[in-house]
Structure formats: C-alpha cells, structure tokens
Amino acid sequence: MSGSESRLLGRWGEALVADDLRRKGWTVEAAGWTCRFGELDLVVSRRGVLAFVEVKLRRSGRFAAPREFVDRGKQERLRLAAQIYLSEHPTALQPRFDVAEVYAPQGTATQRPELRYYENAF
C-alpha cells in the first residue's frame, strides 16, 4: 500500500470514529490537528471531558491489536501535542487520552468495519 493510500485509509477510519462519537453525543472539536510533535487524530468533548483520540486502523489483528501500536514513544508525542493544543485552546474540561481501533479487512470497501473504543487508554 502506498503512502497516499495509507493516509486515505487512515482519514476514512478517523471519519468513521468521529461519526460514531457524534452519534454518542460527543462534539468534535478538532480532527487532524497538527503541531511540531505530530498529529492529534480527533479532539472531542462531552460532559466535562476533553478526549484526545488516537485512531488506529488495521485490516487484521493477527499481528497485534491496533492499540498496541500506541507505544510509549507515541504516547509521549501525543501528550506533548495535547499540551500545545491546550495552550492554544484553554479549557476547563478534564483531558484524557483514548484509543479507537478500526478493523476494516477490505479497507474502505469494508461494509461493516468493527470499532473498539478504549477510554483512558494511557
């Protein structure tokens, strides 16, 4: 899979998760927000919580669960990016880090992708 195909698939997965969270009453504050430390896939809010959501899409979980790719280094980069986001967007909401897994065996052609959501993932 080329880099552009991979980015397209990632954006598609992020859009699925954003739609699912909206249906559950969350407000999407930002999507694909970038800074020098990297990207925050989704920033969502609801009931006093501001969640920084890392979306991981895989065609299969045979090698490892998608959430396992959010290793210590990735977590640190996400924390730094979140600090910058919060400095630019002050809020009284309680921040947390969530991970959303999307399983899509046929990529964007998958009829019913499987979503799993982990609150307070790290």
pTM: 0.92
What does the pLDDT profile of the chain (122 residues) look like in tens digits? 677 888 889 999 999 999 999 999 999 999 999 999 999 999 999 999 999 999 999 887 677 777 888 999 999 999 999 999 999 999 999 999 999 999 999 999 999 999 999 999 99
If we measure between CA atoms, which residue out of 40, 46, 45, 59 comes closest to residue 99?
40
Task: Give the count of domains, the chain.
Answer: 1
Cα angle value 55/73/87 (rounded, 5°): 75
Q: Is residue 32 part of a domain?
A: yes
Q: Which helix (H) or strand (E) holds 19?
A: helix 3-23
Q: Is residue 50 part of a domain?
A: yes
The domain in which residue 94 lies consists of 14-104
- What CATH number is given to the structural domain containing 58? 3.40.1350.10
Q: Is residue 39 part of a domain?
A: yes
